[in-house]
Amino acid sequence: MRKSVEKLHNRFMKKGVVLTSLLITFLVSCQKETQKDDKNYQSQNSISMNKEVDILKNQLKKGLKATVGDAVDYQIEYNDEDVKAEGQIVKDILKQNGYKPLTNDEFNARIKEVFQRQIDTASDKEYLYVNLIAPCSNEVVFYKNNLIDYDGIFVYKKNNFIAPLFAIPELIDYQDKYPEVIHFEENLSGDYKSPEGDKVVMKKWMNEKDLKQKRYENIQSIVARNKYLFNNSKADFVWLKTNDEVFLKSLVKTFGYVKDPELLSFVLNSDYKNPPELEKILWNKRCSGEIVFNKEVMDVISHSKSEEQRSYLAAIQEYIVKEILNKKSSMSFAKKAEILGKLAYYGEKMGEKVGMQYQFFSSLNSIDGKQYEHEFKKNNYYHLPDFKNVWEETKMGGVALPGME
């Protein structure tokens, strides 16, 4: 019995030795693979950092800003490498600030909804450019935004975020991260030749006193834009209203994005007293040429306080009169009749509740009334159930004709 126990013990001991040996071999193998992966990562990271330093040096050579001739601003042109380098930096910035990237399908759908741009998933290009001044242009602009000649964003398809063009010093403390470039920048000449052969005088990045504050503001703007548009962050929307108003307004007035009632209310309240700007809110012309009436504006007005409703409706009534008299409209008369007809229809419906009845369709009827009526009938009153009744009852401004009592 004792010998049997000893044999069994020896057998387990041998198996234990084998298992321990296998475990050690496995752990050593894993350690080697980990070390190999670490070396590969360090190598790739080193290559990436070296590439970033090269791009940074090229940007430092161009300067923060530049002038040519009699102190005329010289537009510094960047390139594809600058945009890609920015993308890597912004990716880290957004991650550090709690941004949650959407899936590719979600992101593509959102870009289509907000900017009316279709992302080509078959293309291997890492980004596309959305022009906030000329939305129908697909040309990539490698100049930084000045809100007059240039204003746009890059849509980064791989990591699903957006950002305007910024140079590396505008996003990171480049002297702290890459101290080796300090001496390099100090020794740069204060001027260089443009591709056209003109002498360009530049201001060095290192001499910009407010660079740290501007860098902070740039990061705030990038984070707020992305978290508002793609993470539905209300706090960032509030920040944008105070600090990035031009961008918010462009979403509605340039691209026709009217799906967010709070955004639409903000833009409407800001610009409704200015007829040309109000027009951009009331309807939008797509790049396809299609003109879209923004009924969502009328929904926002209907949920406003009575006093606000009267102010908005008064502005719309003024716009209707202006457009009736406008003989150089960019719209066809048929489309003009639809836009003004719908505005007048909703105006009458809401106006009746706030003491402004009979002020909208009567304006249309006063000039070219027969033509408008012809368009209304031809288009089946735009499939609005009581459009015909409202038109008939209000087109005379409350004056009843025989048989209407």
Contact 348, 309 (CB under 8 A): no
Q: Which H/E stretch holds residue 292?
A: strand 291-293
Write the DSSP assignment of 63-83 as a string of letters: -SEEEETTTEEE--B--HHHH
What share of the chain in percent tops pLDDT 90? 81
> Does the structure show a pLDDT above 50 at 137?
yes
Contact 216, 172 (CB under 8 A): no
pTM: 0.86
Nearest one of 335, 290, 293, 288 to 136, comparing CA atoms: 288
> Does the structure show a pLDDT above 50 at 5?
no
Write the DSSP assignment of 106-124 as a string of letters: HHHHHHHHHH-----TT--
pLDDT range class, residue 47, cuts 50, 70, 90 = very low
Residues 6+ apart with CB under 8 A from 195: none
Per-residue pLDDT tens over the stretch 79-110: 999 999 999 999 999 999 999 999 999 999 99
Per-residue pLDDT tens over the stretch 252-300: 999 999 999 999 999 999 999 999 999 999 999 999 999 999 999 999 9
How buried is 16 (Cβ within 10 angstroms: 0-12 exposed, 13-18 middle, 19+ buried)? Answer: exposed
N- to C-terminal Cα separation, the chain: 119
Q: Given this model, what pLDDT does residue 289 score?
A: 94
